[in-house]
Amino acid sequence: MNDLNRVLDEQCKIATYEGPDTDGARRGSEDWLMEEALIRTSYRDFLCRKKKQHLSTGFTVPDLGSFLYPFQRHIVDWALRKGRACIFADCGLGKTPMQLEWGAQVSRRTEKPILILAPLAVSLQTQRQGVQFGIPVTVCRSMADITSGVNITNYEMLHHFDATAFSGIVLDESSILKSYSGKVRNQIIEAFAHTPCRLACTATPSPNDFMELGNHSEFVGAMSRPSMLATFFNHDGGETSKWRLKGHAVKPFWDWVASWAVMLRRPSDLGYSDQGFELPELRRHYHTVTSFAQEGMLFPVEAESLQERRESRIATVAKRIDLARDFATDGAQWLMWGDLNIETRSAAGAIPDAVEICGADTIGRKESVMLGFADRNVRVLVTKPKIAGFGMNWQNCNRMVFLGLSDSYESQYQAERRCWRYGQTQDVDVHYLISDRDGAVIRNIDRKRLQAEEMAEEMIEGMEGHHDG
């Protein structure tokens, strides 16, 4: 209420200001008092009209799957009642069983099929989990494969499907939309704009910027991204072109987000017990290799531009691959991430038992190798975060190497979380192989990590009281 009164005071001052008030006559006049009262009433009505709430369009189900944990049952019940919703839950908290139960209930209620869009190889993994939960899942390549109930396909296959045939759509690892071009992202949003039931699931809805919530808001039909920015944000302008949340709009913004999304890092964020959902230790190790001194320099200087960073990475590939090979001689499973072709290709060639997945591989081979790694049939997997960094559950592995560092915090977070996630029983060791010129990259990632952690806590705090169990 104090924030509202402050805003009303500001609006009254702006609306009635006619120049320097030297004698106070205008401020104390009856005319001004009446005008102020009208302004306050009008602006209060305006704010009430501007208050945004995402209306419920779903249904209630008396009994949900017994395989769900209490906090998962709470979330699925809420998402079904909303009809169009987002689940922002950390890795390993059970987004797959939640979306499967949600999809099965929607299909049963509407007597029409539902479709899950998932990252590469996640389709087969989800089908396996469906068997465990007693929910049949059909992996599809085209409309000819669709059956009643729950169907799943890869994002890359979307153009083979008719969106109007489904009563429900699920976006698994929905933050992956940022990795696609605006054209593909818009295609997904527009194709399912009239689908009655919609669900988006991800652990990283807005890893470094609240603006990313606009993608999900638009998908569930709560508000378009431009409208969200205009309603709740100010544009700083200048070189940064950053949007920041308006001071007086903080609570209304989170009230609105909570009307279509739930955010949690652990069950206790919703008032439930964390028993069984404790993460083991994550140990990050940084290994520095020497680079080269630039022309005219006595010592190597920190790489600033993208070109300089790329040159430094290429120049130190051999040294970093030697380190990676030494790590992988222990006979254990290792997951190795690279960003450059020369990194993944060199690592696969130098490390015994290593299998590489690259962009040129067929979808079938990629899926086969990914599942082979999950089944411990592949000892060392070498690939890129953009290929396998989303969705896969690899708690079978607790050793990881980043052959180099990029500036993408989300890629690093998602890649780490393939192994370090709820359900992992061993401490996880992650080795970062860097050059002595990578200081700026490390600082940038550390800054983004801190910002993401603060942002996640702010999101959870903002939603406090809206989804308590």
Q: Over range 42-67, report the average pLDDT.
A: 70
The CATH code belonging to domain 282-437 is: 3.40.50.300
How would DSSP label each residue in 415-465?
HHTTTSSTT--S-EEEEEEEETT-HHHHHHHHHHHHHHHHHHHHHHHHTTT
pLDDT for 193 equals 94
The CATH class for the domain spanning 70-276 reads alpha beta
**Tell me, what DSSP letter sits at residue 276?**
T
Residue 231 corresponds to which tokens in the numbers above? 């309603």
Q: Over range 196-219, report the average pLDDT.
A: 86
- Which stretch of DSSP H or E encloses residue 382? strand 380-383
Secondary structure of residue 260 in the 3-state scheme: coil
Secondary structure, 3-state, 54-95: CCCCCCCCCCCCCCCCHHHHHHHHHHHHHCEEEEEECCCCCH
Q: Over range 14-41, report the average pLDDT.
A: 44
- Backbone φ, ψ for residue 323 (5° rounding): -65, -45
Contact 428, 280 (CB under 8 A): yes
How would DSSP label each residue in 214-271?
HHHHHHHTS--HHHHHHHHEEE--TTT--EEE-GGGHHHHHHHHHTTEEEESSGGGGT
pLDDT for 185 equals 82
70-276 and 282-437 in the same fold: yes
Residue 381 has pLDDT above 80, yes or no: yes
pLDDT for 302 equals 59
Q: Which residues pair with 198 in a beta bridge?
A: 84, 169
Predicted TM-score of the model (pTM): 0.81
Reference 459, options 193, 261, 241; nearest CA is 261
Residue 35 has pLDDT above 60, yes or no: no
Q: Express the helix, strand and coil content of the chain in percent, nearest 5 each.
A: 50, 15, 35
pLDDT for 236 equals 73
Domain boundaries, the chain: 2-50, 70-276, 282-437
Residue 129 corresponds to which tokens in the numbers above? 């989990």
Taking the C-alpha atoms of residue 81 and residue 65, their distance in angstroms, rounded to an integer, is: 16
Classify 141 in phi/psi space as left (phi over 0), alpha (psi -120 to 50) or beta.
Answer: alpha
Secondary structure of residue 148 in the 3-state scheme: coil
Of the two residues 249 and 25, the one the predictor is more confident about is: 249
Instruction: Count Cβ neighbours within 10 Å for each residue of 80-101 and write b for 16 or more, e otherwise.
Output: bebbbbbbbbbbbbbbbbbbbb
The residue type found at 374 is A
Q: Could you read off the pLDDT of 428-441 as tens digits, one per residue? A: 999 999 888 777 77
Residue 48 has pLDDT above 80, yes or no: no
The residue type found at 281 is E
Q: Percent of the chain having pLDDT more than 70?
A: 82
Q: Could you read off the pLDDT of 317-328 as tens digits, one per residue? A: 999 999 999 999
Taking the C-alpha atoms of residue 38 and residue 20, their distance in angstroms, rounded to an integer, is: 22
**CA dihedral for 356, 359, 360, 365, sign (positive or negative):** positive
Q: Percent of the chain having pLDDT more than 90?
A: 58
In Å, what is the CA distance from 191 to each residue of 80, 194, 214, 225?
Answer: 21, 8, 17, 17
Q: Could you read off the pLDDT of 57-90 as tens digits, one per residue? A: 899 998 999 999 999 999 999 999 999 999 999 9
Q: How buried is residue 364: exposed, middle or buried, by Cβ count under 10 Å (0-12/13-18/19+)? A: exposed
- Backbone φ, ψ for residue 2 (5° rounding): -65, -40
pLDDT for 175 equals 83
Contact 187, 215 (CB under 8 A): no
Of the two residues 199 and 439, the one the predictor is more confident about is: 199
pLDDT for 43 equals 43
Residue 91 has pLDDT above 60, yes or no: yes
pLDDT for 305 equals 64
Mean pLDDT over the full length of the chain: 84
pLDDT for 32 equals 45
pLDDT for 301 equals 54
pLDDT confidence band for 120 (50 / 70 / 90): confident
Reference 175, options 411, 342, 444; nearest CA is 411
